[in-house]
């Protein structure tokens, strides 16, 4: 029997209990031993719940119980999750977590400690919910140099953009609908401003290149400026607007960004709609692969955490994750990254002025918007775009990823 | 230094040498040791090739060299691959293979031997080329009961069906084009008759349910009966025709099949075109995930084999694969599997006769085919479909997967 403790009995925590109960036999068989939840840490009591008698309020009971071999942290937030996880690892317990804030901020240190203690720090559920991506990056794509990771990493924003595209509704209407359905939080900032996706692409990039990527260094733009007008322009050229977390290696430098981008139907992310997530990876010999699935949700996320518990149980005293060094990966200057830019300007802006600044551009005029037009530049550096566009009155700009 | 031997210096074998050379530093770092190709087994000589002095013609040199820790089998075919691999495992060497015939036929036995000898028998490249699917099934989807695996598992047939759909060409024309481009063999039977996909879904099903699935037991239908007329009917109802290898668990029984099927745009496989492969997996708690990428090709396949070499190198004396038992999984009777059926009949067939047999059906009439029409039945057992349709003159039937 292998004893585990679950920190936090919220959505994911109760999902883990449900998954362990539902698939008990096959999970125990795969883990090679019976997995037993000995404690659940939560401030609340849960009277009448089957786990009622496992509830403890004091973490030191868990930390100091040598019978607990695996600590499952699903509380979220950096504190006190960081202190709890660090203590568990230092006491020789493996840790499985779904906490992207924790992994993005302290992943390098926690991986190092887990390696020193010959235990495991696993975080499959921290990116892409139920989609297997951390383990494939760590164990499957080992023959390759990763050239690009681009992902639809946030279900809330993908739901909003999909609905705006499919139904033609505006941003505010769809956001409210998403809040009613529980797909968006009452305070949606972490999702719609791109902060959630930013932490996830930071984790993936750290893992791909083996060095610490500080999420604060990643240029991040949310979807709050995207209007139904932008969506209609996108549709007119057969494109979709998706919020991508992306990192690309070019001339030895890694350029990372979170922003809404135009993609066309040659991109496998094009048809990833609603709350689904997908992560596209390009390897130098493998070519393109994509991983698709439910990026959030109680049971898919719990399934990913439990797959980590199985792995930790199977590898009692073998460290299985590649560590990433705490040496900081200096990202390429965002001003030197190159894109094509889709730009909307009022009709007063003369096309000849646009041409003077950007050379030949692709002009897009839609009948229903008579007082404006759009254009797409050739590929130029972000710095050049900023300088040139500062001379124009701009309604909106969206980067083009094709 | 870790010595390996490569059996077969064809497309994949030379790809492996190329991948190991191209990404030498990062591969050695991830493997934790320098990987050195000591021998390449081939009947030919390869004068002037950098591996010229590693070529041997006699397998016993490799089998009897205790310095060789990993044997990489990329010869294809069951014999003598089976004898070579078995001998290697029995002598305590790990084996990595891309050989789907070998794995489908002898996987259970070879996994058992590898476990007894505490070495590894790895076969990521045997299904889906460069797409990580074997390792995710084995190590990531461990919290779930697998309810369905459906895949576009053969690039040649997917290329042919995609071209027929996109360009409106007929089967023979596209097949010839595919042969010229090297996407189809001169003798295309293994691909277009579904035999290749059949071995792959047998491997995936064996792994998912932990028991031997004999590929001979899987009902297999190729794409040679699919015409441009069928494609036009499919388009008219917003569907695509894809050759799927599929296994589904229902009431405790697993039903497996390879056949062309109609899928709609709610299926993530809908947009998987050209030579790309994708595997859709449904878990009872995870929901739907999909793995997408290059299903064949020299470097993608070699990348998958090399990821196995890295794993085997990291796990010198630890068996990491779940074994599947050699106990045979009795598949559900194909006559008891249930589908909706799209059927084309000549106009002479009276709709009232169709209704008498199948009840209410969805009728599809296309202007350009005045001497026939199509209909879609409700969901019925295969046996019932066969009995009822034997009373009708049928032009073609395709199962509907929505």
ipTM of the complex: 0.94
Is residue B214 exposed (0-12), middle (13-18) or buried (19+ Cβ within 10 Å)? middle
With a CB cutoff of 8 Å and minimum separation 6, the contacts of B228 are: B164, B168, B169, B170, B171
Do A267 and A204 lie in one domain? The reply is yes
Alpha-carbon separation of residue B165 from B160, B169, B232, B241, B367 (angstroms): 9, 8, 8, 8, 18
The conformational region for residue B48 under phi > 0 = left, psi -120 to 50 = alpha, else beta, is left
- Both B124 and B29 in one domain: the answer is yes
Same domain as B288, residue B168? yes
Same domain, B322 and B260: no
The answer to whether residue B134 is domain-embedded is no
Please tell me the distance from the alpha carbon of residue A301 to that of residue A237, in angstroms, as a whole number. Answer: 36
Same domain, A109 and A201: no
Residues A199 and A73 reside in one and the same domain = no
Question: For residue A382, is it left (φ>0), alpha (ψ between -120 and 50) or beta?
Answer: alpha
Question: Of B308, B328, B348, which residue sits at a domain end?
Answer: B328
CATH number of the structural domain spanning residue B247 = 3.30.360.10
Q: What is the DSSP letter of A136?
A: I
pLDDT digits (tens, 9 = 90+) for B250-287: 999 999 999 999 999 889 999 999 999 999 999 999 99
Question: The CATH number of the domain where A356 resides is what?
Answer: 3.30.70.120
Tell me the average pLDDT of chain B.
96
pLDDT at B343: 98
Model pLDDT, residue A318: 85
Residue A163, pLDDT above cutoff 90: yes
Task: Look at residue B190 and tell me if it is in a domain.
Answer: yes
Position A321 scores a pLDDT of 87
Does residue B135 lie within any of the structural domains? no
> How many contacts, defined by CB atoms under 8 Å, are there between A and B?
165
Q: Which residues of chain B have pLDDT under 70?
A: none
Return the active site residues of B. 200
Residues B140, B142: Cα–Cα separation, whole Å = 5
Q: What are residue A282's phi and psi, to 5 degrees?
A: -115, 120
Q: What is the pLDDT of residue B317?
A: 81
Instruction: For residue A394, give its domain range.
Output: 335-400
Alpha-carbon distance A371 to nearest alpha carbon in chain B (angstroms): 36
Q: Which residue reads 């041409």 in tokens?
A: A355
The reply, when asked if residue B219 is annotated as ligand binding, is no
Given a contact cutoff of 8 angstroms between Cβ atoms, the answer to whether B379 and B355 are in contact is no
pLDDT at B318: 85
Which ranges constitute the DSSP H helices of A117-265? 134-135, 155-167, 171-181, 189-192, 195-209, 228-236
Q: What is the set of active-site residues of A?
A: 200
| Structural domains counted in chain B | 3
Question: Are B99 and B230 found together in one domain?
Answer: no
The tokens describing A341, both together, are 């830019």
Q: Taking CB atoms and an 8 Å limit, are B291 and A290 in contact across chains?
A: yes
Chain A residues within an 8 Å CB radius of B240 = none
Alpha-carbon distance of A74 to B169, in angstroms, equals 54
| Contact list, B124 vs chain A (CB under 8 Å) | 140
Is residue A67 within 8 A of residue A61, CB to CB? The reply is no
| Cα–Cα dist A103/A105, whole Å | 5
Domain boundary (B270, B294, B318) is at: B294
Are A100 and A164 members of one domain? Answer: no
User: Does B136 map to a domain?
Assistant: no
Cα–Cα distance, A174 to A231 (Å, whole number): 13
DSSP state of B334: G
**What average pLDDT does this structure show over A125-146?**
96
The residue-averaged pLDDT of A33-56 equals 97
| Chain A residues touching B299 at Cβ < 8 A | 285-287
Asked whether residue B163 falls in the same domain as residue B284, the answer is yes
Are residues B276 and B323 located together in one domain of the fold?
no
Residue A376 has pLDDT above 90, yes or no: yes
CATH number for the domain that contains residue B91: 3.40.50.720
Q: How many CB atoms lie within 10 A of CB A57?
A: 10
Considering the domain architecture, whether residues A185 and A209 belong to the same structural domain is answered as yes
Whether residues A174 and A228 share a domain: the answer is yes
């Amino acid at each position: 029997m292998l004893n585990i403790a679950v920190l936090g009995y919220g959505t994911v925590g109760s999902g883990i209990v449900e998954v362990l109960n539902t698939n008990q036999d096959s999970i125990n068989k795969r883990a090679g031993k019976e997995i037993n939840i000995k404690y659940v840490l939560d401030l609340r009591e849960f009277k009448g719940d089957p786990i009622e008698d496992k509830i403890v309020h004091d973490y030191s009971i868990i930390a100091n119980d040598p019978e607990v071999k695996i600590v499952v942290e699903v509380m979220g937030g950096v504190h006190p999750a960081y202190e709890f996880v660090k203590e568990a690892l230092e006491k020789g317990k493996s840790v499985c977590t779904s906490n992207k804030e924790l992994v993005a901020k302290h992943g390098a240190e926690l991986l190092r400690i887990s390696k020193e203690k010959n235990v495991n720090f696993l975080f499959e559920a921290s990116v892409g919910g139920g989609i297997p991506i951390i383990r494939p990056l760590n164990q499957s794509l080992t023959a390759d140099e990763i050239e690009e990771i681009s992902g639809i990493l946030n279900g809330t924003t993908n739901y909003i953009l999909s609905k705006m595209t499919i139904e033609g509704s505006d941003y505010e209407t769809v956001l409210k609908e998403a809040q009613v359905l529980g797909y968006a939080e009452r305070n949606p900032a972490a999702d719609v401003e791109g902060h959630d996706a930013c932490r996830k692409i930071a984790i993936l990039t750290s893992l791909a290149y083996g060095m610490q990527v500080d999420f604060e260094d990643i240029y991040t733009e949310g979807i709050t400026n995207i209007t139904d007008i932008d969506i209609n322009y996108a549709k007119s050229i057969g494109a979709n607007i998706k919020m991508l977390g992306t990192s690309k290696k070019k001339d030895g430098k890694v350029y990372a960004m979170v922003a809404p981008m135009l993609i066309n139907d040659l991109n496998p992310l094009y048809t990833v709609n609603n709350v689904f997530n997908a992560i596209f990876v390009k390897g130098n010999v493998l070519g393109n692969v994509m991983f698709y699935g439910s990026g959030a949700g109680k049971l898919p996320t719990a399934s990913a955490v439990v797959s980590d518990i199985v792995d930790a149980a199977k590898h009692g005293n073998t460290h299985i994750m590649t560590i990433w060094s705490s040496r900081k990966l200096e990202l390429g200057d965002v001003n030197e990254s190159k894109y094509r830019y889709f730009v909307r300007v009022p009709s007063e802006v003369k096309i000849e002025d646009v041409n003077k600044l950007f050379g030949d551009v692709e002009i897009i005029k839609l009948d229903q918007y008579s007082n404006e037009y759009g254009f797409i530049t050739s590929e130029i550096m972000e710095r050049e775009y900023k300088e040139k566009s500062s001379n124009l009155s701009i309604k909106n700009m969206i980067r083009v990823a094709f």
